[in-house]
Structure 1
């Protein structure tokens, strides 16, 4: 794992899924993202393209989508980068993200991308919490 972050929120879990599904707004809370496009509805198996700031476009797939988890995977040359997002609800909602890179060239991509992702993970999650708390679901 190259990065992880956790936060709590007064927002309902559905508010986080609403923000994740509205991929055009990701740059509002994800500082490393220039734009994101989904090729259809936000469902398991959906594909899309993401453009990180200062980097090339990357394709991704929604590998898992349940009422508590959203996992997207980007295929890099010789590696896979996985963002695993989870939500749980007790008195408040706990939301977390774990980022990992695996594969034969995972070491290379971790060296190139890992530091920036690790630095921004908590700030991006905190910005997502603020955006989700503004959502009415």
Structure 2
């Protein structure tokens, strides 16, 4: 497994607000600038499947491999010969503020190809996407 990008923020926005934004996948393009659309096949839960269309790329299937409300959301895009994993961890710092970290990894026999094709773009955009997600979560006004 190869880590291709990481990002982290600390904020006063409650963890629940981030989970509300992640669950509303149709709105992902509002904060994730590399995504044209996302469709979830059922409820937002572990095991859920869906499809997404990255800008300039083919429609890709994904699965929610872990969902622990208030703590973790992990989704895996199923690429040809590789798995692109986005792990989102939410916690609290000693002052009670919310920390959100994202780690993007690639695994599989063609991971080297996908790292070359996608890695730089994902790494370049991840901090901005997380900042826009924070703004969207804040704007949603989910109470603490």
TM-score tier (shorter) = over 0.9
Equivalent position to 2:62, from 60, 63, 77 = 60
Deviation readout 1:10-36 (Å, 9 max, x if unpaired): 111000000000000000000100000
Distance 1:127 1:50 in 2: 19
Instruction: Map Cα deviations across residues 47-82 of structure 1 (whole Å, 9 max, x no partner).
Output: 000100000000000000002000000111111000
Question: How many pairs are equivalent?
Answer: 137
TM-score, length of structure 2 as denominator length: 0.93
Please show how residues 60-79 of structure 1 align to structure 2 within 5 Å: 60-67=62-69, 68-79=71-82
* Corresponding residue of 1:87: 90
Q: Match for residue 101 of structure 2? A: 96
Query: 88, 112, 127: which one pairs with 2:117?
Result: 112
Which residue of the partner structure matches residue 28 of structure 2?
26
Q: Which runs of 4+ in 1 moved over 4 A?
A: none
SS of 2:16's equivalent in the other structure is helix
Task: Please list every run of 5 or more consecutive structure 2 residues that lacks an aligned counterpart in the other structure.
Answer: none
Cα distance in 2 between the residues matched to 1:14 and 1:20: 10
Please give the TM-score of this superposition, normalised by the length of structure 1. 0.98
Partner of 1:46: 48
Q: Which runs of 5+ in 1 are unaligned?
A: none
